[in-house]
Structure formats: C-alpha cells, structure tokens
Amino acid sequence: MRHSLPLAPQFYVTAPQTCPYLEGKRERKLFTALQGDHAEKLNDSLSKQGFRRSQNVLYRPSCSDCSACLSARIRVADFVPTKSQRRAMRRNQSLVREARSPWATEEQYALFRDYLDSRHADGGMADMDVFEFAAMIEETPVRSRVIEYRDTDAENALTAVCLTDVLDDGLSMVYSFFRPDQASRSLGSYVILDHIQIARDAGLPYVYLGYWVPGSSKMGYKAKFSALEVYLGGAWQNMKDPEAYESEAHPLSIDPIAEQVARLSLPDTRSMGD
C-alpha cells in the first residue's frame, strides 16, 4: 500500500512596490509556484480562495496596510445582462470566436502592443517584448486556451483575444486585450459576456474576472455585471453597492502572512495503490 502526502507548496511574499490601482499605495503579493503533477488541482483550489495565475505562479494581494483588492467572479446561472450589455452583444454580432491552444502569434502580439500603447502605456506590462508576451501565453502548467475573436465584417481581422484557464468550477479570464480604436463596441465587456456564454454551454458555474478594486476607475466596469461575487473575509459573498466598499484598511486589521497561509485550504492529493 502506497500513500502520497497532501500537497504542501511553499509561499513567499514580494517586496513592496507602487500600486497600479490606487495612488499613494504600495502593493505586496503572496505567491507560490505552480508546477508538478498537481498544478491543476492547486490552481483550482487557490483560485477559489482569491488567487490568480500568471504563467507558473499563483498570487494574491497581501498588502501591509490595505485590503482593497477583491477577487471577483460571476455566477453564470443568475447572470442577467443590462440593456447596455445587450447592446454590446448586438454591436459585436460580426465577431466569430475560436478557441486555440496557448500558442503566441505575431498577429496577437501586434494587437497586444496596440492595446497597451493606447490603454496602459504607463503600466507594468508596457515594456513587454515579443518573447515576454510568448511566455505569458505559453508558459502554463494548467488547462489553458487562447480565445480569439475575428471580425467577419473586416476581412476576418483579429479584434480581441483572451487567455483563459479552464478550472473545475469555471473559466478564469487571465488576461484579455482588444482593438483600442473601437471603443464604441465595448469589446472588453463583450469578451466577458461571451465567456459567460461559454461557461453556460459547458455547464460551468462561474466566470472569474480577476480583481475588483473599489476606488479604482480601471476596475469600475466589473461592478456593472450582475450576479457578481467578491472574495472577502475568507468567503465568497454577493456584491453589495460598490460605494459601500472602502479602499482603506488600518494596518492592524491585516492578518500576518503566516496566519493568512495557515488558513489556506490546500488540495488533498493522497491516493492509494498496490
């Protein structure tokens, strides 16, 4: 009889750096490596506890004096689009979706560069070259797909892209980008709406959107989706009025890193065999 031990990853903390969402704040992340035979189980488990994937790393904000960043997900079964979201779906009827293996192309990178240069020229990804872009897309130890959207009204031009992880309970939108010169089409919202449809068709209950940050205009669009849940206080809860959430937190209200790690629920990979 043979037993394997429960999965026990090592956790680390990044050095503080400038927060990309809230002015005057410093961000810090709790992270662990995502590798080995049980990478998918770890990704599934920690995604349900507010973590996100970046290549072969799972991370969650763990700032020393702020707890504004809240992981957000949509309950697919209860989602009802708003009038503006229905208009976005109609405006993008010419888009055709294709799910591909996580392989980077020059066409994707050209769209990515246009998007960054227009929307996030001063962001942390602004200097990414084609090799770093390829690593972002291709270095995945879990089940990932690149969802491409092409416009049949524009000679099948690549219009939007989303790197998506397939979890055991939903789709995790790792990173999306789209044509920045077509703001009237609400392409970012459309990609989320289409992922809700993909999840519904696949029988998956959630679409994970990443972090929503109260007080950050960059993240405001996420709060416009119905059936939204945020991960707060160690549990998922229905989104309240966005104005009810505060972006400030007293330093003494933030639990020490050791306590945060101790409360994590890790997948049990024990198995039995002859």
Considering the domain architecture, whether residues 115 and 128 belong to the same structural domain is answered as yes
Q: Which DSSP state fits 79?
A: -
Q: Residue 5: what pLDDT?
A: 42
Considering the domain architecture, whether residues 114 and 59 belong to the same structural domain is answered as no
Considering the domain architecture, whether residues 118 and 234 belong to the same structural domain is answered as yes
pLDDT tens digit sequence for 102-116: 999 999 999 999 999
Which region holds residue 234: left if phi is over 0, alpha if psi is between -120 and 50, else beta? left
Rounded to whole angstroms, what are the CA distances from 21 to 25, 173, 213, 218, 247?
8, 19, 7, 7, 10
Considering the domain architecture, whether residues 232 and 252 belong to the same structural domain is answered as no
For residues 234-244, average pLDDT:
91
Relative to beta strand 170-178, strand 157-166 is: antiparallel
Q: Residue 258: what pLDDT?
A: 87
Asked if 73 and 208 touch (Cβ cutoff 8 Å), the reply is yes
Considering the domain architecture, whether residues 58 and 84 belong to the same structural domain is answered as no
pLDDT tens digit sequence for 191-217: 999 999 999 999 999 999 999 998 888
Beta bridge partners of 97: 149
Range of the domain at 206: 72-240
Considering the domain architecture, whether residues 83 and 64 belong to the same structural domain is answered as no
For residues 67-80, average pLDDT:
95
Considering the domain architecture, whether residues 32 and 139 belong to the same structural domain is answered as no
Q: Residue 177: what pLDDT?
A: 96
CATH code of the domain in which 103 resides:
3.40.630.30
Residue 190 in 3-state DSSP?
helix
For residues 122-135, average pLDDT:
84
Q: Name the pLDDT band for 1 (thresholds 50, 70, 90).
A: very low
Whether the per-residue pLDDT at 123 is higher than 70: the answer is no
Q: Residue 253: what pLDDT?
A: 63
Total tally of structural domains belonging to the chain: 2
For residues 56-76, average pLDDT:
93
Considering the domain architecture, whether residues 87 and 177 belong to the same structural domain is answered as yes
Distance, CA of 146 to CA of 98 (rounded, Å): 8
Considering the domain architecture, whether residues 120 and 179 belong to the same structural domain is answered as yes
Considering the domain architecture, whether residues 11 and 76 belong to the same structural domain is answered as no
Asked if 16 and 62 touch (Cβ cutoff 8 Å), the reply is no
Considering the domain architecture, whether residues 88 and 152 belong to the same structural domain is answered as yes
Mean per-residue pLDDT over the chain, rounded: 90
Considering the domain architecture, whether residues 146 and 169 belong to the same structural domain is answered as yes
Q: Name the pLDDT band for 181 (thresholds 50, 70, 90).
A: very high
Whether the per-residue pLDDT at 8 is higher than 80: the answer is no
